[in-house]
Amino acid sequence: MKDPFLVLGLAQDTSTNKLDETFRKLSTRLSSSNFQENSRSVEQANKALAACKEAYDAITSGSTAQITTSDKEGLSARLRLGQLCLATHMISLEQLQEAVEAQANSDKQLGEILQDLHFISQHELDGLLIGQDLIVGDEEVKDPQALRLLAMGLITEELAVIGLLDARLTGESLVNVLNRRDWLSKDITDAIFGDTAGSAL
């Protein structure tokens, strides 16, 4: 079970009144009627709302004993080559997907595949491999916004790590990066985080 308190953005010792108030506010903000019909925001809102309802039900029913501890441990600090390529804008998500598919039918490393497809040069690959060893930071992997969005199922671990690296390089918040890259709708992040959406927590 995902940590329901994390999904709702609450501490485990939160009062019942605060729990009810938070759930009510999130339910109102994430109501699909707040978003344009057939938009990606509606899909993301429905997913977030379902996660919030599940979390609220788990807390109110007292079934929080099986919380997955990995939710609070953070993300892997070691960037994979594909993540680093995306984070530095060397390739697109579509190009990475193409390379990964090609790698599935080959015994070559991802870097070799990226070169074969002419997405990166040998010089760029060498720089990326060096960068893999240099770019590690504990502060990245424990970002509360990233962990909450992961627990809600709105982003993958890969997007979280790439977004956090981009945020570190640009000085933006993770939420702003996710919005800028169009991985998560600004309407949704505003609904989830309220006034703190664009600020680093």
Interval 66-70 mean pLDDT: 48
Answering whether pTM is above 0.95, one says: no
pLDDT by residue (tens digit) across 181-195? Answer: 888 989 899 999 985
Q: How confident is the model at residue 124 (pLDDT cuts 50, 70, 90)?
A: confident
Cα maximum dimension of the chain: 59
- Return d(Cα 41, Cα 37) in angstroms, integer: 9
Better pLDDT: 8 or 161: 8
> CA 133 → CA 78, 79, 166, distances in Å?
8, 9, 17
Per-residue pLDDT at 139 = 42
Angle at 23 between CA 18 and CA 28, to 5 degrees: 130
Lowest mean pLDDT among 28-32, 112-116, 123-127, 171-175: 123-127
Residues 98, 146 contacting (CB under 8 angstroms): no
Per-residue pLDDT at 191 = 93
Interval 127-149 mean pLDDT: 71
Angle at 34 between CA 31 and CA 37, to 5 degrees: 100
Query: Residue 198 belongs to what H/E stretch?
Result: none
